[in-house]
Amino acid sequence: MFSAEIIQFLRNHFPVHLSEVRAAVDLLVYSVDDAIEAIIKKGNALSTNKELQEAIIFLEKAGEMEIALKTLQNYMNQIETEDDSPIFEDEILDNIEKQNPNYDEYSTDRTTAYTLFENYTYKRPHAFEMINQTVNVRDWKDMLMETCKKLTKINKDLILRFPDDPKFNGKKISYFSDKPETMRSPRRIETLDLFVETNFSANHIRNLIIKMLNHYGIPLSEYKIYLRADYSPLHK
């Protein structure tokens, strides 16, 4: 894909855009890995039922996808560096509102529902709806924490396993941990001795929510996002 020179250029001059690329690749890596697991599960089930020829086809396809996954993972390693700090979306939005006294001009229709497959860079959240329940939020950090709180009420044992699951943690820092001193901007999940990293871009938070919902078996269609403002026209 991009050369190391291009990646460094983006890191130096367009860090927000590099963060968007990183979030997109991260979600693609997760989605491909999830698909591979589903194919292997199906192949193993066919093997158990002694449908061996069919099982071989499924496992071969999983092997082909593993090759593509390794390529994506290598690319992700190129994008990430030890000193990279994820873009803190809420801080960017705070600065936009401070620098633009007429930021109310960018208010949006708060009744319009958006899915988890949108680009949320430069957008301010108003609320989210999960399993037909609406929760108002102040910012993206708040949305992440409130989502964790609702999932905890559904099954706290599942979320307590996240610190040991590579899918829910970064290569450089922990996203879920009981050791907040190892994190950049941790917030504690209410009622649990578990902390969540919150220093993320809006799209990275979206990715985490997608991963959590999938792990809980909650259809992504049952999660809607409502926006309060859209400042993306300021950055075109």
- Write the pLDDT tens digit of every residue in 166-179: 888 877 778 999 99
Strand order in the sheet with 176-177: 176-177, 195-197, 186-188
pLDDT tens readout for residues 32-64: 988 999 999 999 999 999 999 999 999 999 999
What local confidence, expressed as pLDDT, does residue 46 receive?
94
Highest CATH level, class, for 89-235:
mainly alpha
- Average pLDDT over the chain reads 89
Residue type, 231: Y
Q: Which of 165, 1, 13 is nearest to 79 (CA)?
A: 1
Reported as a single tens digit per residue, the pLDDT across 75-98 is 887 777 544 455 677 788 888 888
List, for residues 7-34, the tens digit of each pLDDT value. Answer: 889 888 888 788 888 888 888 888 898 8
Where are the domains positioned within the chain?
A: 4-79, 89-235
Residue 114: name the closest of 131, 127, 104, 97 by CA: 127
pLDDT per residue as tens digits for the range 183-230: 888 999 988 999 999 988 899 999 999 999 999 999 999 999 999 999
Q: Say what the pTM is.
A: 0.82
Q: Which residues contact 12 (CB under 8 A, 6 or more apart)?
A: none
pLDDT above 50: residue 161 = yes
